[in-house]
Structure 1
Amino acid sequence: MSELLIDVYMDTSCPWCRMGTTSLLTALKQLPEDKKATVRWNAFQINPGIRPEGEDYRQVMIGRLGGVPQFEARKQQYHENGNRFGLKYNMDIVQYTPNTTLSHQLISMAPEHVKVQLIEKIYTAYFEEGVNIGDVDELVKIGSSVGMGEAAELKERLLQGEGLDKVELGQHTAQKLGVRGVPFFVINEEFSLSGLQSPAEFVKLFEQL
């Protein structure tokens, strides 16, 4: 039995990370029986300076991309590329660019057997339902829905800073690795892949290891 250790650096408000996560999970379902994979989810914040309450998504993106036409083109990119992975992006209803610290804390707190489900639910809430995933009350609803406990208890744990050390460690490790954008994947602490990969590209690499 050979084992793969896969470190994923991702952000919960990153459209490409959602696609990359889906692509990786699709590839892992194709692993032969003699290979086992362990996935570690590492926090990387693409907007670490965003106010805790979030900022206007449209304004942030127009400012970053340089204008309304560029913003509209980028939304279309998300839609078209998302379709390749069976994902919906309803970016017209997204109001906030969130501060993703709390969402990463929640992921770090989650038991391993619900982590993937939690991550997918956070992505769906943000990109399909327009939920402000920087809002602690919205996050604890999601956490509770995957069996992480009562909302009041989860909220208290988040606000007390549980998991924050792991979030900061992920960001620090990413900086040491020279990660400038996500998704970013490190396989067996040796091979790195930057950006969106297809399931076939993952499978090809896994076959070589």
Structure 2
Amino acid sequence: MQTLKIDLVSDVVCPWCAIGDARLQQAITQLDDEIDVQLEWHPFLLNPDVPDDGRDILEHLSAKYGRSEDEMKAAQHEIMAAANELGLNFDRALARRSWNTFDTHRVLAYAKEQGCDGAFNRALFAAYFGRAENPTDANVLATIGASLGLDGERIREIVAGEAYAEQVEREVAHWQSLGVSSVPSFIVDNQYLLAGAQPPATLADALRQIAAERSESA
């Protein structure tokens, strides 16, 4: 079986990242035993300029995209419908606030060392879109971490301090230097960029094609 490495550049406050990951998992299922996919998550800061207390989501999106709040609300309903089709919990997506997730990614760097950053990312998607929780809050992060077997007190220490800050800054800058300017971005075998939350069948076909090209060039 051929192995493909996928680097997923993502932010936990990005709805299409949650949808993109879920669609990728469906694509992997469609591939059956054809390809072994090794997935690695990487940080992206969707809202680096948002203040510490966050911002109302519709106000934020309206200002960001230059559209009315009613237009953005309608767009959010479309995103919620897409998420619901995948079985994702987006029940409180309209009640959420936008956040600067730099501290969140520092905690995720710790989780990555412990081998559970994928599960942590998915749990944060559920907390943020499903329950409108603050994904930068130390208590939220510690609770989720503890549920995954991590040290909740260590997570609180990370949020309160500067641990992993340089690592996150370095990773964010690295992917930006390679041209990643939006998320989700899937980089396959350090060469092929699949941008956006594409349908599962499209992702599966793209991975098959990449695997075939890699085999031919081997």
- TM-score normalised by structure 2 residue count: 0.87
Could you tell me how far apart the structure 1 residues matched to 2:99 and 2:207 are?
Answer: 34
- Aligned residue runs from structure 1 range 186-197, under 5 A: 186-197=187-198
Could you tell me how far apart the structure 1 residues matched to 2:84 and 2:169 are?
Answer: 33
Tell me, yes or no, if the aligned pair for 1:102 and 1:136 is still in contact at 8 Å: no
1:175 aligns to what?
A: 176
Q: Any gaps of 5 or more consecutive residues in structure 1?
A: none
Could you tell me how far apart the structure 2 residues matched to 1:196 and 1:161 are?
Answer: 32
- Aligned residue runs from structure 1 range 96-115, under 5 A: 96-110=97-111, 111=113, 113-115=115-117
Instruction: Give the Å deviation of 1:32.
Output: 4.1
CA RMSD of aligned residues (A): 1.8
Could you tell me how far apart the structure 2 residues matched to 1:112 and 1:21 are?
Answer: 20
Instruction: Give the Å deviation of 1:141.
Output: 1.2
Paired amino acid for 1:63 = A
Could you tell me how far apart the structure 2 residues matched to 1:183 and 1:127 are?
Answer: 16
SS at structure 1 position matched to 2:171: helix
Paired amino acid for 1:119 = N
Paired amino acid for 1:124 = A
- TM-score normalised by structure 1 residue count: 0.90
2:132 aligns to what?
A: 130
Tell me, yes or no, if the aligned pair for 2:41 and 2:118 is still in contact at 8 Å: no
Could you tell me how far apart the structure 2 residues matched to 1:201 and 1:17 are?
Answer: 16
SS at structure 1 position matched to 2:201: helix
Q: Any gaps of 5 or more consecutive residues in structure 2?
A: 212-218
Q: Return closer, same or farther for 1:29/1:115 CA change in 2, 3 Å cut-off.
A: farther
Instruction: Give the Å deviation of 1:38.
Output: 1.7
Q: Return closer, same or farther for 1:173/1:63 CA change in 2, 3 Å cut-off.
A: same
Could you tell me how far apart the structure 1 residues matched to 2:154 and 2:180 are?
Answer: 34
Could you tell me how far apart the structure 2 residues matched to 1:141 and 1:24 are?
Answer: 27
Tell me, yes or no, if the aligned pair for 2:57 and 2:95 is still in contact at 8 Å: no
2:150 aligns to what?
A: 148
2:20 aligns to what?
A: 20
Q: Return closer, same or farther for 1:113/1:34 CA change in 2, 3 Å cut-off.
A: farther
Tell me, yes or no, if the aligned pair for 1:3 and 1:35 is still in contact at 8 Å: yes
Could you tell me how far apart the structure 2 residues matched to 1:26 and 1:199 are?
Answer: 6
Could you tell me how far apart the structure 2 residues matched to 1:129 and 1:188 are?
Answer: 35
Paired amino acid for 2:201 = A
1:93 aligns to what?
A: 95
2:141 aligns to what?
A: 139
Instruction: Give the Å deviation of 1:33.
Output: 3.4
Q: Return closer, same or farther for 1:75/1:48 CA change in 2, 3 Å cut-off.
A: same
Could you tell me how far apart the structure 2 residues matched to 1:159 and 1:202 are?
Answer: 39
Count matched residues: 207
2:122 aligns to what?
A: 120
